[in-house]
């Protein structure tokens, strides 16, 4: 088999696939975080919740038995997210700092009031998927260039 074809299939194609996917995910994350800056605010209150088994792409864990209750109009909602793309360990430590009587601002999406967070906006780690995607695309383009030139 031609060595250039192997380089293309093993090196460049995976970089293109990962680069396109990560760039799309990164753009979506930043776009959603930017939109959260326009979300409405409601007063939330710490309430007990049932422990539930939850899984994410990294680990399975038992969710914290705390949640923030808030009201939009006549409807009650519950928020368990610190920010849009949280680390569950961050949430656990943050919730331990709250007292049950403390009022907490909850930012909710006016179009979907059940979508809410405690901290809105763009966090530094939201840029990571976009940076990884652009880096992978750059490697794929440079690899293609050097493959064509040689």
pLDDT-derived band at 49 (thresholds 50, 70, 90) equals low
Task: Specify the DSSP element, H or E, that contains 47.
Answer: strand 40-48
Check whether 40 has a pLDDT greater than 70. Answer: yes
The reported pLDDT for the residue numbered 13 is: 93
The reported pLDDT for the residue numbered 127 is: 93
**Cβ neighbours for 113, distance < 8 A, ≥ 6 positions apart:** 72, 73, 75, 77
pLDDT-derived band at 1 (thresholds 50, 70, 90) equals low
Check whether 148 has a pLDDT greater than 90. Answer: no
Cα–Cα distance between 41 and 31 in angstroms, integer? Answer: 19
- Predicted TM-score (pTM) of the model is 0.69
Check whether 26 has a pLDDT greater than 90. Answer: yes
Please give the DSSP secondary-structure letter assigned to residue 126: G
* Residues 83-124 pLDDT 10s: 777 655 666 676 677 766 778 889 999 999 988 888 888 989
15 SS3 class: helix
* Residues 50-93 pLDDT 10s: 555 554 454 454 555 567 889 999 999 988 777 777 655 666 67
């Amino acid at each position: 088999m031609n060595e250039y074809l192997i380089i293309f299939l093993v090196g460049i194609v995976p970089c293109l696939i990962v680069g396109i996917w990560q760039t799309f995910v990164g753009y979506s994350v930043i776009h959603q975080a930017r939109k959260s800056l326009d979300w409405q605010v409601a007063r939330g209150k710490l309430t007990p919740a049932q422990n539930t088994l939850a899984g994410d792409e990294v680990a399975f864990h038992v969710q914290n038995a705390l949640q923030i209750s808030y009201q939009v109009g006549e409807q009650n909602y519950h928020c368990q997210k610190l920010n849009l793309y949280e680390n569950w360990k961050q949430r656990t430590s943050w919730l331990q700092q709250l007292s049950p009587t403390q009022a907490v601002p909850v930012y909710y999406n006016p179009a979907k009031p059940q979508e809410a967070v405690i901290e809105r906006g763009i966090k530094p780690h939201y840029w990571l998927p976009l940076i990884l995607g652009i880096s992978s695309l750059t490697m794929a383009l440079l690899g293609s260039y050097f493959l064509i030139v040689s």
